[in-house]
Chains A and B, each alone.
Chain A
Amino acid sequence: MSGTTQPVGSTAAGTTVKERAELALNDEFLRKAVKFTTERLRGGKLKASEEHGNWDDWRERGRQIRLHTIAHLDYYLNLFADNARANGVHVHFAHTAAEAVKLSLAIAERNDAKSVVKSKSMVTEELHLNHALESIGVEAVETDLGEYIIQLAGETPSHIIIPAIHKNRYQIAALLSAEAGETLAPDTTVLAGFVRKKLREKFLEADIGMTGCNFAIAETGSMVLFENEGNARMVTTVPKTQITLMGMERIIPSWSDLEVMATLLPRSATGQKLTVYMSGITGPRRAADADGPEEMHIIIVDNGRSNQLGDPEFQELLNCIRCGACLNACPVYRHIGGHAYGGTYSGPIGAVLTPALQKNVAEWDDIANASSLCGACYEACPVKIPLHDMLVYLRRRKVEAGHGSKLESLGMKGFATVMGSAGRFGGVLKLGKLGQKLVVRGGVIRTKLGPLKGWNTYRVAPSLPKQSFRDTWATLEEEIRVGLRETAPDVKQRLEAVIRERKQKEGGSLHG
């Protein structure tokens, strides 16, 4: 049972990733839409990173900045909080989701808020804050076009960057027509035009603007938002009160470091050189200003993030800048979409982050198994998080804690017994050759019995040849020996040189 991670309003039925994936695999529109979008974003990213050049140097720089900041997080977060406070921001700390929700609601109630306009924030998704606000009678309106659409649909985002990736224009037209009270044509310009008008009203009447935070600059206490639509600027300009929810790891030391993040994030997310808007907000409006919030709160949220601190296998997870490049690169995500992951975060980052944020190993979903460990996520990651390795660590921890599948454990015991000795391995191969006689037809195996069912639904399995390599070795070696008694002298020289070089490097690395 893993229902604990299932957010309210998620569309994906099914309790296991396998069941949810099956639903997605049978949804032709979804698969095509996800494929098209991820290919567009992935292509854009490749083009942008190539055009920019020295991409690996930039990635390494980004990684080093994030590593450094997280390694000194107490210093930088403390500095940020002090500076933000000096700027006039009301800074709060929340260990848990419940604490963050309680603080947000208290601020809303104290300000007699009737409505909150929100710009895209994954942290508030994590907290299910919209439902909490509605429970005290405060209307929460998502203002990012995609978020607004899925809010009307009563769903959760299925992609970090393009939340409504799974909806087509007809579905969107139906949702917006219901809101408009008239039929809107399934035309992007018409639909977006309606949303612009509708949300303008919402912005102007809202009591509170609520945002997430892409980066928080420790040295000046500023918070930075990247976006394309301008809704985050609306949310931080128009309402009287601003609440920003930020994960405690969003920190970077300086504006100088922001240049690196601004180089990596938009290119990795959408292939843009910079998002249309990048805003650095340093405190509430100044006394003489005529716009901007009068009261500004920043709620710094832990909610499981600190579990990663000091854990050598997972600390780098906190380096994530939420660009979504790993989703776009992931062949599994492409086929199953975001909802199949069953948590707030989807794709490779979600597969690792969702269990990592929760300490209870027993409740971890089998989501870590939904990866071929191809490493495309790592290659795409602008701060080089080894997500493919982390998936293996998650699997190992589940096994170590005794929550592995019984059948698999048995199989792996067998694997260890057979592969622990060449003699037994050879024996098993002989048995296999005997056993397969029952199922081999035309040199291949097509039966869907037992463990071959999954494999042979999409493939044929090869049969074992008459002789394994180890069986043929003696003959082969004898044959080779006739022409070549030993490695040729010139080759040997070459190889010796390589060995010397290897030894030198080894010595060097010991001293360096």
Chain B
Amino acid sequence: MKVSLFITCLNDAVYPRVGEAMVRLLARHGVRLDFPKVQTCCGQPAFNSGYWDEARAAAATILEAFDDSDFVIAPSGSCAYMIHHYSQLFRHDPGLLAKAEELQRKTYEFTQFFVQVLGVTDLGAFFPHRVTYHPSCHGSRLLGVKEEPMALLNGVKGLELVPLPFAEDCCGFGGTFAVKMADISGAMVMEKTDHVKETAAEVLVGLDMACLMNIAGNLRHRNEPVRVMHLAELLYEGVTGVMKR
């Protein structure tokens, strides 16, 4: 049985603590994760910009990395959903196409794996804070991960979950969009953090570090003291009682 971690390039490079929290949480629930080091990036930045040859170069490392895995788990709904595009990317290569389709079937976003596969919603976490949740677009809309994070958050003792107004609105990240259309993206993230402020939450939690990097970057830019966390981090802190600020 091979259960593999699809760390995603952003978490690998910038937010290793998210991967660490995931590995440790899963270990507590009896799952030994494996980390195939040939993986780099799912290819989404190039794919979304229209550079599919370049996307294939990155995606090939993912196909190779998880070729013999039984389950693949990612701390990002967006990168997990990118796998669904592989059947388009590799449509002209029957061998790779079959691998792509197989990979799509065995890939799970982190909360999906906990709730759908392990059937666990209560991790025994305690996190006595006012928290609001931003559902990232690709994870919630395209991959359909809506109930799972709610179930996990509801399982956390002491946590006060406050609804985020217009939660489903995009934070304005959109990969290269944030650079190419910086002013539009900027207006969108400002609107998002305005809504976060309205909740008076101490913590903003989500499932995708790209969006959270965007929101956190704007909160910090505006000197707003809201703590931004991936749900895996929050749950891990909640079960280990490590309360750092």
A and B touch in the complex (CB under 8 A): yes
CB distance from A456 to the nearest CB of B (A): 8
When distances are taken between beta carbons in the complex, the residues of chain A under 8 Å from B174 are 371-374
Contact of A495 among B1, B16, B33, B220 (CB under 8 A): B1
Bound complex: CA of A494 vs CA of B118, how far in Å?
7
Do B45 and A21 touch across chains, with their CB atoms under 8 A apart?
no
A453 within 8 A of B: yes
**Cα separation A488 to B32 with both chains bound (whole Å):** 8
Q: Given known contacts A473-B37, A486-B32, A491-B118, is B47 in contact with A392 (CB within 8 Å)?
A: yes
Q: Is A68 among interface residues, defined by CB-CB distance under 8 A?
A: no
Q: By the criterion CB–CB under 8 Å, are A470 and B12 in contact?
A: yes
B1 touches A492 (CB 8 A): yes
Query: Residue A449 at the B interface, CB < 8 A?
Result: no
Residue of chain A at shortest CB distance from B11: A469
Q: Which of B19, B40, B138, B185 contacts A419 (CB 8 A)?
A: B40
CB within 8 Å of B: which of A380-430? 392, 394-400, 404, 408-409, 412-413, 415-422, 425, 429
Across the interface, B16 reaches (CB within 8 A) one of A418, A425, A468, A498, namely A468
B51-A412 in contact (CB<8A) = yes
Q: Once the chains are docked, how many angstroms separate the CA of A456 from the CA of B183?
A: 11
List A contacts of B184 (CB < 8 A): 21, 25, 332, 335-336, 370
Does any Cβ of A come within 8 Å of B218's Cβ? yes
Residues of B near A378 (CB, < 8 A) are 141
On chain A, the residues within 8 Å of B177 by CB distance are: 369, 371-373
A484-512 contacts to B, CB under 8 A, are 484-488, 490-492, 494-496, 498-499, 502, 506
Asked if A491 contacts B30 (CB within 8 A), the reply is yes
B229 CB to closest chain A CB, in angstroms? 13
The reply to whether A409 and B51 form a contact with Cβ atoms under 8 Å apart is yes
Residues of chain B within 8 A (CB-CB) of A416 are 46, 51, 53-54, 57-58
List residues of chain A with CB within 8 A of the CB of B142: 375
Is residue A191 contacting chain B, with contact meaning CB distance below 8 A?
no
Asked if A57 is at the interface (CB within 8 A of a chain B CB), the reply is no
B residues in contact with A473, CB < 8 Å? 35, 37
Task: Tell me if A465 counts as interface (CB < 8 A to partner B).
Answer: yes
Contact of B79 with A by CB under 8 A: no
What is the bound-complex CA distance between A399 and B1, given in angstroms? 42
- B182 and A454 contact, CB distance less than 8 A: yes
Of A88-96, A152-160, A475-483, the stretch lying at the interface with chain B is A475-483
Q: What count of chain A residues pass the 8 Å CB interface test?
A: 85
The majority secondary structure among interface residues of chain A is: helix
The verdict on A125 contacting chain B, using a C-beta distance below 8 Å, is no
Query: In chain B, residues 78-128, which have Cβ atoms closer than 8 Å to a Cβ of chain A?
Result: 105-106, 117-119
Tell yes or no: A434 within 8 A of B by CB: no
A464 at the interface (CB under 8 A from B): yes
Whether A412 pairs with B54 at a CB distance below 8 angstroms is yes
Residues of A116-133 at the interface with B, using a CB-CB cut-off of 8 Å, are none
Interface check A460, CB cutoff 8 A = yes
Tier of interface size on chain B: 35 or more
Complex Cα distance A476/B32, Å?
12
Given contacts A413-B54, A422-B37, whether A484 and B70 have CB atoms under 8 Å apart is no
Closest Cβ of chain A to B40, distance in Å, is 4
Contact of B43 among A21, A419, A491 (CB under 8 A): A419
Q: Identify the stretch in B147-155, B186-194, B231-239 within 8 Å (CB) of chain A at 4 or more residues.
A: B186-194
Are the CB atoms of B181 and A469 closer together than 8 Å?
no
Closest chain-B Cβ to A122's Cβ sits at a distance in Å of 24
Task: Report yes or no: B186 in contact with A372, Cβ–Cβ below 8 A.
Answer: no
Instruction: For A31, list chain B residues within 8 Å (CB).
Output: 187
Total A-B residue contacts, Cβ distance less than 8 Å: 242
Of A400, A458, A468, A480, which contacts B186 at CB under 8 A? A458
Contacts of A379 in B (CB 8 A): 141
Bound complex: CA A486 to CA B32 (Å):
6
What 0/1 pattern do residues 21 to 50 of B give for CB contact below 8 A with A? 001100101111101011111010111111
B16:A472 contact, CB within 8 angstroms: yes
Q: Does A186 contact B (CB under 8 A)?
A: no
Contact of B30 with A484 in the complex, beta carbons under 8 Å:
yes
Q: Check A499/B70 contact, CB under 8 A, given A415-B46, A425-B41, A429-B13.
A: yes
**B220 touches which of A444, A467, A476, A487 (Cβ 8 Å):** A444
Task: Tell me which residues across on chain B come within 8 A of A471, comparing CB atoms.
Answer: 16
A461 within 8 A of B: yes
CB distance from B190 to the nearest CB of A (A): 7
Q: How far is the CA of A460 from the CA of B24 in the complex (A)?
A: 29
Name the B residues within 8 Å of A467 (CB-CB).
Answer: 16
Q: Chain A contacts of B7 at CB under 8 A?
A: 469-470
Q: Does B180 contact A (CB under 8 A)?
A: yes
A53 located at the interface, meaning its Cβ lies under 8 Å from any Cβ of chain B in the complex: no
Complex Cα–Cα for A394 and B50 (A): 8
Q: Which residues of B contact A464 (CB under 8 A)?
A: 13-14
Q: Which residues from chain A sit less than 8 Å from chain B, CB to CB?
A: 17-18, 21-22, 25, 31, 331-332, 335-336, 369-376, 378-379, 392, 394-400, 404, 408-409, 412-413, 415-422, 425, 429, 432, 444, 451, 453-462, 464-465, 467-473, 476-477, 480-481, 483-488, 490-492, 494-496, 498-499, 502, 506
The 7 closest A-B pairs by CB, nearest first: A372-B174, A454-B182, A459-B217, A488-B30, A395-B50, A374-B170, A458-B186
With A413-B54, A425-B41, A468-B12 known, 11 other A-B pairs at CB within 8 A are: A372-B174, A373-B174, A397-B50, A399-B50, A416-B53, A453-B182, A462-B216, A465-B14, A477-B35, A480-B23, A495-B117
B interface, CB within 8 angstroms of A: 1, 3, 7, 9, 11-17, 19-20, 23-24, 27, 29-33, 35, 37-41, 43, 45-54, 57-58, 60-61, 70-71, 105-106, 117-119, 137-138, 141-142, 168-170, 172-191, 213-214, 216-218, 220-221
